[in-house]
Chain A
């Protein structure tokens, strides 16, 4: 058995000049790292000289596990990657498999997906806003944000039976139609929610303490955003005018009207403003989806891929056979490969799915937005104050499940 050099496991941080600097460990149990992120900080007094993120504490090998599952069985795995926006992950994965199959879904399913996906974005941004404000010291916002988030989680429970790990989307549609009373509940929520956004905004946007902690803090330039592969609100805060929903529409986003907020300041405050504006835009998109929601089936007409209705399965021989086949053997997907990039609340969430023609994916790779955005810690924190590290790391909205997979 070879000797293990345990010190090699630590990221090596050599101090710059002699004994002036010290290395400080932050995390993986630190409350403001939103999970198990470990940051190694080299500090000179109160100034950060270097910062190195150390990740992998939550790595569960989801990509490898996916290779041993049927295509449909991968959907629950995707929830668990980014547990703040499960529907976005479901969405990206099923879109990728549908693209591989060449499957078209009925309009009602498409609109329900869009509606829930935007609700997920609201949910995720609310968690971000609440926890980020709390990290910086504004406790009240957290309580208000979680009050509204609770309503959204209740709605998720109504449609999927689960508050967080929804697994509601299926290849070829959604698992079942919306329950009775859901739309009324949602309409009620969407009617009062814009007022609540103004409430958060009133608490923060002109709050001098909030402004002092966020304005001009953790600057990212537009060039750095491109060089460091940043996406989502983090990049848009630095003037990158790019949103996959608008620029490369997928899954029906071309039918919605919305604006993409872009700011050029590149600081924490810009990223905050963008997310608050996205809350407003998402609310309007949910409204549009409710208004456009047609009647009709919620599953595609593809008996070899989509499970038959319960009723048909019990009365028709053909449906029973298909049901048995899909459950026991899965469905086969023609050979090929697809990269499906969607705009998650954090940035570009990409699913690269390779099929070898069997019932199990040959390779599933997730390009997760948090993993890419973690690149920004260096430019945001180095040469800045130690106290701003929390504001900087919080402002890119990382989810460690998404980073480590």
Chain B
């Protein structure tokens, strides 16, 4: 099973229901898309994240009604530095979609999805705790794993793995 190169051309990905749905309904929200190793990723404009997720959830061609995971990746030192990664899932179509938003290093902040999935709350708290990304509209944004008086966000790439802080 040799690896196929990733497809990033939107023209070639138009057939995919998620890309097709976003292109037809909210073309301004879709920044990029990638199909790699049988997994589809779409990059969404951070300000339109909630709208786009709602569209993907409610549209009959996509039906991504279930949120599986929220996490983040730090691409230090490049800019935009952070990527918040949402893994959404469709029970009906048995398909996953990865939705990403890119955030700058100065005050990374994105709208919370707890209004759509109440269960996202601890996941977002974990991202806040370990990556230092704020979620606007989150009901209780506190540290969750680390002590409350902890300094810094350990999963950031500029946080040392060993030695004294």
Contact = CB atoms under 8 A, between A and B. Distances in A.
Given A102-B2, A226-B66, A336-B37, A68 B146 contact: no
B149 interface: yes
A4 B148 CA distance: 9
A103 interface: yes
Contact of A339 (B39, B94, B148): B39
Given A56-B144, A100-B37, A375 B118 contact: yes
Contacts of A362: 73
B119 A228 contact: yes
A59 interface: yes
Contact of B94 (A59, A65, A68, A247): A247
B34 to A, nearest CB: 9
A322 to B, nearest CB: 20
Contact residue range for chain B? 35 or more
Interface in A322-341: 334, 336-339, 341
B37 A227 contact: no
A67 B161 contact: yes
Interface in B88-124: 91, 94, 96, 98, 117-123
A398 to B, nearest CB: 13
A352 B69 contact: yes
Interface string A245-275: 0011000000000000000000000000000
Contacts of A240: 91
A264 to B, nearest CB: 16
Interface string A55-66: 110010101110
A4 B150 CA distance: 10
B68 A354 contact: no
A28 to B, nearest CB: 14
B98 A227 contact: no
A61 B156 CA distance: 12
A372 B148 contact: no
A397 interface: no
A229 B119 contact: yes
Given A350-B87, A367-B71, A374-B122, A339 B145 contact: no
B67 interface: yes
Contact of B155 (A4, A64, A101, A336): A64
Given A55-B144, A56-B145, A367-B87, A248 B94 contact: yes
Nearest to A356: B75
A363 interface: yes
Contacts of B39: 337-339
Nearest to B157: A67
B119 A354 contact: no
A99 interface: yes
B94 to A, nearest CB: 5
Given A9-B147, A339-B87, A339-B98, A99 B37 contact: yes
B65 interface: yes
Given A227-B117, A367-B87, A56 B146 contact: yes
Nearest to A99: B37
A20 B43 CA distance: 50
The 9 closest A-B pairs by CB, nearest first: A229-B119, A9-B148, A228-B119, A102-B3, A367-B69, A56-B145, A59-B145, A365-B71, A375-B119
Interface of B: 1-3, 6, 36-39, 41, 65-69, 71, 73-74, 85, 87, 91, 94, 96, 98, 117-123, 126, 130, 142-149, 154-155, 159, 161
Given A9-B148, A338-B39, A352-B71, 15 more contacts: A6-B149, A56-B145, A56-B146, A64-B159, A65-B161, A67-B161, A102-B1, A227-B119, A228-B118, A336-B6, A337-B41, A365-B85, A367-B71, A372-B123, A375-B118
27 contacts: A11-B142, A56-B143, A56-B144, A56-B147, A63-B130, A63-B155, A64-B154, A102-B2, A103-B1, A226-B65, A227-B119, A229-B120, A247-B91, A336-B6, A337-B36, A337-B39, A338-B37, A339-B96, A341-B87, A350-B68, A350-B69, A354-B73, A362-B73, A363-B73, A365-B85, A367-B71, A375-B122
